[in-house]
């Protein structure tokens, strides 16, 4: 890594990490610095899906697995055409990668996508620090940048409504995908391509709506159900979306995923709160409260739904996190709702929960026959 320019990352609490600039930050014309909220991801693979997952908008992603980039990047694996993460921090960015059709190096992809990063960082130390101290803003710059200036930048920033994270990543997928056995609407709050693909797999014509959607156009669209998607940030930052979802409750079946799960919970009158350091990775254990079975899931979120939702709204809790007991899902047969905090399509990650799409579709058909 001697040919890479040196760089550093300084956290808002003053903690300092040195390494080498990579991706867009390694270009001679990169000005820097950049800032973002530090999150650590425990996935061993799937780095391309991670940095193109819109749920990572505004975040500096630290990969805990030490070697990243060893199988390159291919266009088909991106969740969105552009990267969403603000920076990628790794211990060892691999220059050599497995060959294959259309594959390029992760670093060249980062340069093409204008995504800066750092390599040579003690990512386990960063992870331990975030686990101990909680989520924190960081600033990344050249080695020659003054520490006090990077520290001041990190301390002056926070992820709030002014960032408009959801709006920045919504509406970049094709609006309509044809099928032959019904219709589904997807509310795109930063939806992953893989989620749309799994809805289409059910044979449904799938129409994607951005954050400007209105409940009336959904209700008038002859849809069998609605999927409220994943996305970045605090669900309380998008009250207009919560209001429109509230108008849909009880009038059309809905499946909420990740941020969508939180939005539906707020629309029902439940509460959300910020976790100390969130859940980010493809190895999160979730307990099915009905069967006791444990699923390994892919997750990416900093906020959670309060576990008093059943008491407040009358829903039935379906899943909890095996590590910390936080709420991971609920169902409401009367209002035709099913919500999960994890990503059932799991890209990247295990395939334990892909059945949720099929099961929800079966629920919708049952609800339709009952009426």
Catalytic residue set? 258, 343, 345
CA distances from 20 to 11, 116, 236 (A): 17, 11, 37
- Three-point CA angle 181, 370, 215, nearest 5°: 65
Question: For residue 107, which of 57, 51, 150, 33 has the smallest C-alpha distance?
Answer: 51
Q: Write phi, then psi, for 302 (nearest 5 degrees).
A: -105, -10
Angle 69-70-74 from CA coordinates, rounded to 5°: 65
Q: DSSP readout, 77-114?
A: G-SSSS---SEEE-SEE-S-----TT-B-HHHHHHHTT
Pairing verdict, β 34-41 and 136-142: antiparallel
> CA-CA distance, 264 to 277, in Å (whole number)?
23
Task: Give the β-pairing of 16-23 and 116-119.
Answer: antiparallel
Euclidean distance between the first and final Cα of the chain, in Å?
Answer: 65
User: Which three-class secondary structure string do you get for 157-216?
Assistant: CCCCHHHCHHHHHCCCCCCEECCCCCEEEEECCCCCHHHHHHHHCCCCEEEEECCCCCHH
Place of tokens 């990352």: 9
Please give the C-alpha separations between residue 338 and each of 164, 194, 344, in angstroms, as whole numbers. Answer: 27, 19, 12
Other CB atoms within a 10 A radius of the CB of residue 207 amount to 17
Tally Cβ neighbours within 10 Å of residue 16: 11
Distance separating alpha carbons of residues 342 and 321, to the nearest angstrom: 10
130 touches 136 (CB < 8 A): yes
Phi–psi pair at 337, nearest 5 degrees: -125, 140
């Amino acid at each position: 890594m001697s040919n890479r320019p040196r760089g550093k990352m300084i956290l808002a609490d003053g903690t300092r990490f040195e390494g080498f600039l990579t991706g867009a930050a390694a270009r001679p014309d990169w000005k820097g610095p950049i800032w973002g909220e530090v999150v650590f991801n425990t996935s061993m693979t799937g780095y391309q899906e991670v940095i193109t997952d819109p749920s990572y908008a505004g975040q500096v992603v630290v990969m805990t697995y030490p070697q990243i980039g060893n199988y390159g990047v291919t266009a088909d694996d991106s969740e969105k055409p552009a990267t969403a993460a603000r920076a990628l921090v790794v211990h060892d960015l691999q220059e050599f990668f497995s060959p294959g059709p259309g594959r390029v190096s992760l670093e060249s992809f980062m340069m093409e996508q204008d995504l800066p990063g750092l390599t040579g960082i003690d990512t386990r130390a960063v992870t331990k620090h975030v686990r101990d101290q909680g989520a924190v803003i960081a600033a990344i710059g050249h080695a020659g940048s003054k520490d006090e200036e990077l520290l001041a930048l990190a301390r002056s920033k926070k992820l709030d409504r002014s960032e408009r994270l959801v709006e920045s990543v919504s509406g970049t997928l094709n609006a309509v995908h044809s099928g032959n056995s019904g219709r589904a609407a997807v509310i795109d709050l930063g939806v992953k391509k893989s989620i749309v693909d799994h809805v289409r797999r059910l044979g449904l014509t799938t129409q994607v709506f951005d954050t400007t959607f209105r409940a009336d156009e959904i209700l008038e669209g002859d849809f069998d159900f609605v999927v409220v998607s994943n996305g970045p940030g605090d669900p309380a930052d998008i009250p207009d979306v919560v209001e429109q979802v509230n108008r849909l409750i009880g009038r059309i079946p809905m499946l909420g995923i990740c941020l969508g799960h939180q939005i539906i919970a707020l629309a029902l009158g439940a509460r959300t709160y910020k976790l100390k350091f969130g859940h980010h990775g493809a190895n999160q254990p979730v307990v099915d409260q009905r069967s006791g079975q444990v699923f390994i899931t892919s997750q990416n979120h900093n906020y959670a739904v309060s576990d008093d939702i059943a008491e407040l709204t009358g829903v039935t809790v379906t899943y909890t996190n095996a590590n910390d007991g936080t709420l991971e899902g609920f169902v409401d047969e009367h209002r035709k709702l099913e919500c999960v905090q994890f990503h059932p399509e799991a890209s990247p990650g295990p395939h334990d929960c892909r059945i949720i799409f099929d099961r929800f579709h079966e629920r919708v058909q049952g609800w339709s026959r009952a009426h």
